[in-house]
């Protein structure tokens, strides 16, 4: 009886320990990471358990690698708390020729939407480096194509290289200067990119305007052609006119040279006259204002029947001055 009780207590204790361990495993288990699928055209050297990195730092693990037709499906898990941008790319990186490759997610997260679990990175956003044997094969094929059994079968490539060497011999400094100037031009364009883009935009607007006004442009070109044709047809008359103009200008030049003193004196007198007119501009303005009235009065005073001007005059205005008030007159101007 005692033995059965001890066994029951032991079993109960073991069960309690198992329950506690399971509870601790559930409670203290780290939260799941971000599970992502990446599709590659090929995944040579990529295995389950390889690293997933961001900026060269491990942030997860590759779970499975499975071929599906012409693609390779790679599932990977990014550790919890590591953010990856939603538009990230997946690149298979080979740190050396003999070691396993790892998956690099780029770029690093700096803000915005995050890569969510279940996301599939398409083939357009994945890349795999070229294999070393393919590089060697490409180099071998290039050497064969340029070798004596290929492009250089008749020495064409050798001639090109020889001619290039002859042309460049002694021009190293000039070539270096040219490259430096190209660099400076690139820096200038980089600093003035806004002006450059504005110029290109304005040129685009100008060409668009010309295109939209193609009829007017053609008409202007046609009229210009007609004018130039007219000038070409009358080139003899135009030449004669230019010759006569040249002769006239020569005569004017000789006249001015021969009469320089008189012209200077006349210009000086003309300056005095214009100065007088400027000084008397108010009087001249008044005269111009009253002349229409004077002309009207003159026309009204003319008698066509007698062909005389009729009017009344005050003889006192044309006689001697009137005596001052209180003095005895002499009789002149009084009618006596």
Same domain for 141 and 121: no
On whether residue 120 sits in a domain, the answer given is: yes
Tell me, yes or no, whether 247 lies in a domain. no
The DSSP annotation for 173-187 comes to HHHHHHHHHHHHHHH
Would you say 40 and 65 are in contact if contact means Cβ atoms under 8 Å apart? no
* Domain boundary pick from 67, 99, 129: 129
DSSP β-ladder status, 120-121 and 126-127: unpaired
64 and 105 part of one domain? yes
Return the pLDDT at 332. 44
What is the total count of domains within the chain? Answer: 4
What sign for the dihedral angle of Cα 283, 286, 292, 297? Answer: negative
Domain membership flag for residue 161: yes
Domain shared by 158 and 97, yes or no: no
What whole-number distance in Å separates Cα of residue 54 and Cα of residue 110? 12
Same domain for 125 and 138 = no
β-pairing, 51-54 with 57-68?
Answer: antiparallel
Per-residue pLDDT of the chain (336 residues; tens, 9 = 90+): 556 666 666 777 777 767 666 665 544 555 678 999 999 998 888 889 999 999 989 999 999 999 998 999 999 999 988 999 998 999 998 876 556 789 999 999 999 999 999 999 999 999 987 766 677 778 888 888 777 877 777 778 788 888 888 888 888 888 888 888 888 887 777 777 777 788 888 888 888 888 888 888 888 888 888 888 877 887 788 788 888 888 888 888 888 888 888 888 888 888 888 888 888 888 878 877 887 887 787 778 777 788 777 776 665 655 555 555 555 444 444 443
Domain extent, residue 1, equals 1-25
Identify whether 304 is part of a domain: yes
Tell whether 5 is covered by a domain: yes
Q: Mark whether 40 and 117 lie in a shared domain.
A: yes
CA dihedral 179, 180, 186, 190 (to 10 degrees): 160
Q: Please check whether residues 154 and 93 belong to one and the same domain.
A: no
């Amino acid at each position: 009886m005692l033995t059965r009780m001890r066994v029951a207590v032991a079993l109960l204790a073991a069960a309690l320990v198992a329950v506690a361990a399971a509870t601790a495993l559930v409670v203290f288990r780290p939260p799941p990471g971000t599970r992502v699928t990446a599709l590659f055209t090929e995944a040579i050297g990529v295995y389950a358990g390889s690293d997933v990195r961001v900026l060269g730092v491990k942030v997860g693990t590759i779970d499975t690698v499975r071929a599906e037709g012409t693609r390779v499906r790679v599932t990977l898990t990014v550790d919890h708390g590591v953010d990856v941008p939603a538009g990230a790319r997946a690149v298979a990186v080979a740190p050396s020729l003999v070691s396993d490759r790892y998956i690099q997610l780029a770029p690093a997260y700096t803000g915005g939407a995050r890569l969510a679990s279940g996301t599939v990175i398409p083939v357009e956003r994945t890349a795999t480096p070229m294999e070393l044997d393919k590089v060697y094969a490409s180099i071998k094929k290039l050497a064969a194509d340029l070798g004596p059994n290929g492009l250089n079968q008749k020495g064409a490539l050798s001639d090109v290289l020889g001619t290039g060497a002859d042309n460049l011999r002694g021009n190293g400094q000039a070539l270096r200067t040219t490259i430096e100037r190209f660099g400076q031009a690139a820096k200038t364009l980089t600093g003035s990119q806004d002006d450059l883009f504005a110029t290109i935009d304005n040129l685009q607007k100008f060409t668009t305007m010309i295109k939209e006004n193609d009829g007017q442009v053609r008409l202007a070109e046609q009229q210009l052609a007609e004018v130039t044709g007219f000038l070409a047809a009358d080139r003899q008359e135009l030449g004669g006119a230019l010759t006569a103009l040249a002769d006239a200008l020569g005569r004017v030049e000789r006249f001015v040279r021969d009469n320089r003193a008189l012209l200077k004196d006349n210009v000086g007198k003309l300056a005095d006259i214009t100065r007088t007119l400027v000084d008397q501009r108010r009087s001249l303005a008044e005269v111009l204002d009253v002349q229409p009235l004077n002309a009207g009065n003159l026309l009204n005073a003319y008698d066509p029947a007698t062909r005389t001007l009729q009017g009344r005059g005050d003889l006192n205005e044309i006689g001697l001055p009137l005596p001052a008030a209180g003095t005895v007159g002499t009789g002149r101007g009084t009618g006596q």
